Amino acid sequence: MRRPRIALAVGATLVGAALLSALVGPLLAPHSIGAVVDLDVFSPSSAAFPLGTDYLGRDVLSRVLTATRYTVFISFVATMIAASVGIFFGLAAASGSWLDMVLSRLFDIVIAIPSLMFGLVVITSLGASIPVLIGTLAVVYTPGAFRTARALALNVAALDFITVARSRGEGLSYIVLREILPNLIGPLAADFGLRFVFVALLLSGLSFLGLGVQPPYADLGALVRENIAGLGFGAPAVLFPALALASLTVGLNLTIDTLTGGRKATR
Amino acid sequence: MTALVRLSGLQIAACKDGGVTSIVRDIDLCVEAGEVLALIGESGSGKTTIALALLGYARPGCRITGGEIEVAGHRIDRMDEAALRTLRGRVVAYVAQSAAAAFNPMLTIMRQVIEPALVHGLMDRAAAETKARGLFRALALPDPDTVGDRYPHQVSGGQLQRLMAAMALITDPALVIFDEPTTALDVTTQIEVLKAFKTVVRDLGTTAVYVSHDLAVVAQIADRICVLRGGTVQEQGKADQILHAPAHAYSRALVGAAAPRVPAEPIAMPPPAPGEAPLLELRDIVAGYGGLDANGRPKACILDKVSLTIRRGRTLGVIGESGSGKSTLARVVAGLHSAAQGYVNLNGVPLASRIADRSREDLRRVQLVFQNADTALNPAMRVGQTVGRPLTFFHGLRGRTRAAEVARLFDLVRLPAAIADRLPGELSGGQKQRVNLARALAARPDLLLCDEVTSALDPVVAEAVLDLLVDLRRELGVAYMFITHDIERVRAIADDVMVLYGGCQMELADARALGSGPHHPYSRLLMASVPHLKAGWLETTMDPFAPVPGQAGATADGCRFFSRCALAMPGTCDLVRPASLVADDRLIACHRELAEL
Ligand code: SF4
């Protein structure tokens, strides 16, 4: 019984730290993001530069704090769009037969395109701006959200209380919004968190390939990429961005697991 | 006599939300060799938990925290998992409630039945198969020599249940645990399985622990009865004593709930004005699934020419086993399932077959109440909201007037008004069913379609809900269509009774006429199958299957009951649909003469 609580505490701390640095990180940063402040490159941690410096001699701490904002912000907006669109169409599909057919096949087509490939094609043709990034990530992850919402809604729609509402003559919007949706909040929240992690990882992947956030700004994936040469020296410049990304995803997963697990147990 | 099974000071606790709650406390039990002990109680009484402890098993989240468990000289509480594995299935065997879930559909029955003997290395395959066939015969299974070659889906539910008993008995275990083995079966099947169990247990001298909530079933098979409630023993004693002279108040309540219900006082209704149309009238309803054939009949026909009428304020009981089409009947009336033929009249006016085409006024008049209150209430909605919605929907009530009306409805179904802020998950089964009723009543309906509303409830609670239904009828004058598999229950609260079998109407009779005069052979079988609260009843009741040689199945036009009918006349019954015989208070669909029935 103690394990979930510890997991929750650890997860919540990690997520909280990520959110905090996304919100106020740039204000806390000791140096400006583009400023070259050290004559040496890939220098180890010191009192002046707690996380060392990067391949140009910039302060890694400042860069990680700023990059987290980009990763969290872009991922959050993209996930939000993917989840809202997915849930909307998922619920619509769960309530009508031909609509279900059309929507399901449509999203199947999107899902059939490898996500990284899709990202590469779109971004190379439209250019790597932040709106394009958000749009691409949202498109890639909408079908998953659609499928989850549809499957969950279909399960609930088969229950007797929906039949009672139907036999009373309730309209579709009442049934979907008032009877079905409240029962999906828990699982959909879990799905949202999970999808956020996927989006953050894909974003980092794109950035690592040079297609993500463009210099002088950077997200966590871009930081890893630009400092990859420091891997040979064991420079903190490459380790800490990677660590930040890992702690964000692990923290979020721990939180989701305990929250949804707890919900199940109390039922 | 030495005790074969001994439990002393058994404690079982459940860990939940960081806390530990004790679910079974200080259980002291003994079962002597060759004896059948029944554990009886409501859901949550700990009866299954105690039975599973005899296997050294505690459900996930539960732990055996203290006490001694001894079976045939083995100290189960001191054994580790490996030792328990050698014991389970060999020394203690288990027969579960759902045989369908216990069998692997991909393997033949024989392979699964002899598996325990092979796993424990007790005999070789040939010997085990011979033994299994012997058990099949002892359990009165049809075709004992070949039934083992079939797959689980090729035999009926009652047969599968008996096959599971064969699987348990193949190792000659010291103790067999029967965990509600007949609860999921239809009454007529239950008798057949119960008879088989009783014969085997007697012939093999098996020691058994029989877990059940049904006192009348237990009365047939148990030597001793232990009454449980809330994880503690209320009373234990010889079966006769518990049944006829229960000492503890709770045992008395259980016995009271199991005794046949006294029929409600007939409610005086003003005679219908001449020319007044009945509240509900169904004529020749044909309904089913799949496309229609040339005659306009669905491919899978669930209801076949069913007609009935319900007058204002009256109760019609619809009785049938699973698959009889009784729930489809309610769905047709509620507009959830369109009939292929026939018509439904409400107050003499035809009712549209689909909800979308019905007026709100028509929808209001007919309300559905489902069997399972767990799925019939929205778990994410406060119950006050659930009950209030029809008030807004049908009557436009809002705000304070609505809250007052909700409180009045809760009062009507004998629930405290404070319950309105709760979620269904915080209520007990009986309370949920009352909320379920209150929601239906909120519409101020003329007709309630009650689909098995009491069958998911514990007997004592079910009785209270039935009392409530009778009271509501008196106070509000609503009519009921009361759908159930339980003929005793229906007899007590209905004015008229309709018996369905395979989607066809077998009999339509006055409820008070049941049990006297001529009856359809199937109605007779149903009435004879309801266990009585009396030891030895099982031996005296009629055999549900008096198999008539060569009586396989009827053609689509014949009598649906043909293959199980003791009075069947091959050549007539299996070819021609019987017409209805009319007596003054009953209609019987049979080829025999009234005098023969
Ligand atoms: S019609 Fe024939 S088979 Fe059917 S119930 Fe009557 S006697 Fe039995």
Q: What would the two tokens of residue B135 be? A: 């058990």
CATH code for position A17: 1.10.3720.10
B371 or A187, greater pLDDT: A187
How is residue B88 annotated by DSSP? B
Q: How confident is the model at residue B543 (pLDDT cuts 50, 70, 90)?
A: low
**Sheet-wide strand order for B341-346:** B298-310, B280-292, B341-346, B349-350
B270 or A86, greater pLDDT: A86
Mean pLDDT for the stretch of residues B68-95? 87
- State the CB neighbour count (10 A cutoff) for residue B98: 16
Does the pLDDT value for residue B267 go beyond 70? Answer: no
B451 or A210, greater pLDDT: B451
Phi-psi region at B27: left, alpha or beta (left = phi > 0; alpha = psi -120 to 50): beta
pLDDT score at B270: 63
Quick one: which H or E segment has residue B200?
helix B187-204
- Does the ipTM surpass 0.90? no
Look at A161 and B376 and tell me if their CB atoms are within 8 Å: yes
In a domain, A12, yes or no: yes
- Helices A236-266/A60-95 angle, 10° precision: 40
pLDDT tens-place string over residues B484-515: 888 888 888 888 999 998 888 899 988 888 87
CA distance linking residue B561 with residue B569, whole number of Å: 12
CA distance linking residue B225 with residue B209, whole number of Å: 10
Q: What would the two tokens of residue B509 be? A: 């009779």
CA distance linking residue B184 with residue B324, whole number of Å: 16
How is residue B269 annotated by DSSP? -
A148 or B297, greater pLDDT: A148
Give the lowest-confidence range in A3-7, B148-152, B275-279, B393-397. A3-7
pTM: 0.77
Mean pLDDT for the stretch of residues B433-459? 87
Look at B368 and A167 and tell me if their CB atoms are within 8 Å: yes
**Ligand 1 atom nearest B566 alpha carbon:** 8
What separation, in Å, do the N-terminal and C-terminal C-alpha atoms of chain B show? 50
In three-state secondary structure terms, B114 is: helix
CA distances from B18 to A124, A238, B23, B408 (A): 53, 41, 15, 39
Q: Which residues of chain A neighbour B21 with C-beta distances below 8 Å?
A: none
Say yes or no: CB of residue B406 within 6 Å of ligand 1.
no
Domains B3-257 and B280-514 share a fold: yes
Does the pLDDT value for residue A262 go beyond 50? Answer: no
Nearest to A152 by CA among A104, A113, A94: A94
Question: Please, which residues bridge with residue B509 across strands?
Answer: B497, B586
Non-local CB neighbours of A118 within 8 Å, separated by 6+ positions? A136, A139, A140
* Mutational test site, ligand 1, from B507, B590, B596, max ligand atoms within 8 Å of CB: B590
pLDDT score at B544: 55
pLDDT score at A260: 65
Q: Which residues of chain B neighbour A267 with C-beta distances below 8 Å?
A: 425
CATH 3.40.50.300 applies to domain B3-257: yes
Q: Which residues of chain A neighbour B355 with C-beta distances below 8 Å?
A: 166-167, 169
B368 touches chain A (CB under 8 A): yes
Nearest to B301 by CA among B75, B86, B160, B503: B503
Phi-psi region at B220: left, alpha or beta (left = phi > 0; alpha = psi -120 to 50): alpha
Phi-psi region at B159: left, alpha or beta (left = phi > 0; alpha = psi -120 to 50): alpha
Does the pLDDT value for residue A266 go beyond 50? Answer: no
Q: Are B356 and B336 in contact (CB under 8 A)?
A: no
Q: What would the two tokens of residue A49 be? A: 């530069």
In a domain, A265, yes or no: no
CA distance linking residue B557 with residue A118, whole number of Å: 62
In a domain, A266, yes or no: no
Give the lowest-confidence range in B16-25, B150-159, B169-178, B586-595. B16-25
Residue span of the structural domain in which A223 resides: 2-260
pLDDT tens-place string over residues B327-365: 889 989 988 888 888 889 988 888 888 888 888 888 999
Q: Residues B191, B194, B196, B202: is their CA dihedral positive or negative? A: negative
B361 touches chain A (CB under 8 A): no
Q: Is B516 exposed, middle or buried (0-12, 13-18, 19+ CB in 10 A)?
A: exposed
Q: What's the structural domain count of chain A?
A: 1
Q: Say which CATH superfamily domain B280-514 falls into.
A: P-loop containing nucleotide triphosphate hydrolases (3.40.50.300)
CA distances from B528 to B423, B493, B516 (A): 42, 19, 13
Does the pLDDT value for residue A263 go beyond 70? Answer: no
> Which one of B337, B375, B452 makes the best mutation probe of the A interface by having the most chain A beta carbons within 10 Å?
B375
CA distance linking residue A43 with residue A22, whole number of Å: 25
Say yes or no: CB of residue B554 within 6 Å of ligand 1.
no
Does the pLDDT value for residue A40 go beyond 80? Answer: no
Non-local CB neighbours of B206 within 8 Å, separated by 6+ positions? B34, B36, B169, B173, B176, B200
Look at A164 and B355 and tell me if their CB atoms are within 8 Å: no
Q: Are B113 and B148 in contact (CB under 8 A)?
A: yes
Mean pLDDT for the stretch of residues B267-290? 78
User: Ligand 1: distance of its center to the CA of B284 in Å?
Assistant: 20
Selecting from A1, A164, A178 the residue whose C-beta is nearest the C-beta of B18 gives A1
CA distances from B468 to A165, B443, B449, B463, B480 (A): 24, 18, 15, 9, 13
- Domain range list for chain B: 3-257, 280-514
CA distances from A172 to A179, B281, B357 (A): 10, 30, 15
Q: Residues B453, B455, B461, B467: is their CA dihedral positive or negative? A: positive
Does the pLDDT value for residue B1 go beyond 60? Answer: no
Look at B381 and A169 and tell me if their CB atoms are within 8 Å: no
CA distance linking residue B478 with residue B365, whole number of Å: 10
CA distance linking residue A60 with residue A226, whole number of Å: 12
Q: How confident is the model at residue B549 (pLDDT cuts 50, 70, 90)?
A: very low
pLDDT tens-place string over residues B157-213: 888 888 999 999 999 898 999 998 888 788 888 888 888 888 888 888 889 999 988
Nearest to B38 by CA among B504, B559, B535: B535
In a domain, A117, yes or no: yes
CA distance linking residue B72 with residue B174, whole number of Å: 7
Non-local CB neighbours of A3 within 8 Å, separated by 6+ positions? none
pLDDT score at B371: 78
A260 or B531, greater pLDDT: B531
Quick one: which H or E segment has residue A85?
helix A60-95
CA distances from B81 to A122, B93, B172, B190 (A): 58, 16, 22, 35
Question: What average pLDDT does chain B have?
Answer: 85
Q: Are B422 and B383 in contact (CB under 8 A)?
A: yes
Alpha carbon nearest to ligand 1 atom 6, residue: B590
Count CA atoms closer than 13 A to A44's CA, side-chain side: 3
CA distance linking residue A195 with residue A200, whole number of Å: 9
